[in-house]
């Protein structure tokens, strides 16, 4: 708990949370504009919430990896500048505790930013457009849980990169590449696609389009995408912690 408090104290004036939230709100504005355009043309009128959710999860593959990369970079860059990881070698404290504190802080900040983003979509549907259709609570909660799970896996990857390399540009490139792979995920072989974390934003979304009717349906998400995303996240976390603890700074 002490380490976690110190993490938030170190971030006090770095505006990390503000930066992450702005990135995700840009996505929300884009989603709202796209949905509004669909509705103004008379399309998706029978399933406005489903359309909003599907558009949102489709764009998550671009914005959320970048937001996670920015967050990890900003949080970990402090340690490189202050040479904190080398100082820890002269104390009884371990790098693993610092690693866990940073991972926890990153997840909390990104989860709150995600809540704000989801909240903006709900405000749009309820108060700005006044959707007549009933609000799919279960679908939005499923999407939120899936988002948090994929976020955690991505943060495990980006934090490992950000702490291992002093050049934080590498983390940003990793975030952009993750977003690109998420966009191209449908073109990748199935086995390879399962290894691309950003693809799980779509896999864990309950909103899918039915072809050839073009209707957007809310379906139950299978358990296996949650299990695979969780497994990959755990592997990345412990691998990143191991190499960070073993690396000489």
Q: Provide the whole-model pTM.
A: 0.92
Phi and psi at residue 92, in whole multiples of 5°?
A: -85, -5
**Tokens 């590449």 sit on residue:** 177
Q: HSE on the CB side for 67, CA within 13 Å?
A: 32
Task: Convert the pLDDT of each residue in 82-104 to its tens digit.
Answer: 677 777 666 666 778 888 989 99
pLDDT reported for residue 87: 73
The pLDDT of residue 224 is above 70: yes
Q: What is the DSSP letter of 207?
A: E
Report residue 51's pLDDT band, with 50, 70 and 90 as the boundaries. Answer: confident
239 within 8 A of 160, measured Cβ to Cβ: yes
Mean pLDDT of 202-211: 84
Q: What angle do CA 68, 72, 73 make, to 5 degrees?
A: 115
Task: Convert the pLDDT of each residue in 35-49 to its tens digit.
Answer: 888 777 766 667 788
Task: Convert the pLDDT of each residue in 139-155 to its tens digit.
Answer: 999 999 999 999 999 99
> Smallest Cα–Cα separation from 71: which of 34, 102, 46, 29?
102
Residue 26 corresponds to which tokens in the numbers above?
Answer: 């840009």
């Amino acid at each position: 708990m002490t380490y976690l408090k110190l993490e938030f104290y170190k971030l006090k004036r770095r505006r990390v949370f503000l930066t992450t939230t702005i990135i995700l709100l840009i996505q929300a504005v884009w989603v709202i504009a796209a949905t509004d355009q669909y509705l103004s043309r008379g399309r998706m009128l029978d399933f406005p919430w489903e359309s909003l959710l599907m558009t949102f999860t489709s764009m998550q593959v671009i914005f959320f990896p970048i937001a996670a990369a920015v967050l990890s970079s900003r949080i970990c860059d402090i340690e490189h500048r202050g040479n904190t990881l080398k100082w820890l070698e002269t104390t009884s404290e371990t790098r693993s505790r610092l690693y866990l504190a940073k991972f926890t802080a990153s997840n909390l900040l990104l989860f709150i930013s995600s809540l704000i983003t989801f909240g903006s979509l709900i405000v749009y549907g309820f108060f700005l457009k006044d959707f007549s259709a009933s609000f799919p609570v279960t679908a939005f909660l499923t999407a939120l849980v899936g988002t948090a799970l994929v976020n955690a896996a991505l943060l495990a990857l980006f934090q490992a990169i950000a702490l291992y390399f002093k050049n934080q540009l590498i983390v940003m490139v990793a975030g952009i590449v993750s977003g690109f792979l998420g966009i191209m995920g449908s073109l990748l072989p199935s086995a390879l696609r399962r290894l691309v974390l950003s693809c799980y934003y779509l896999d864990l979304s309950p909103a899918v389009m039915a072809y050839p009717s073009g209707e957007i349906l809310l379906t139950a998400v299978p358990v296996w995408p949650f299990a695979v995303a969780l497994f990959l996240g755990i592997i990345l976390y412990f691998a990143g912690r191991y190499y960070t603890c073993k690396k000489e700074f």
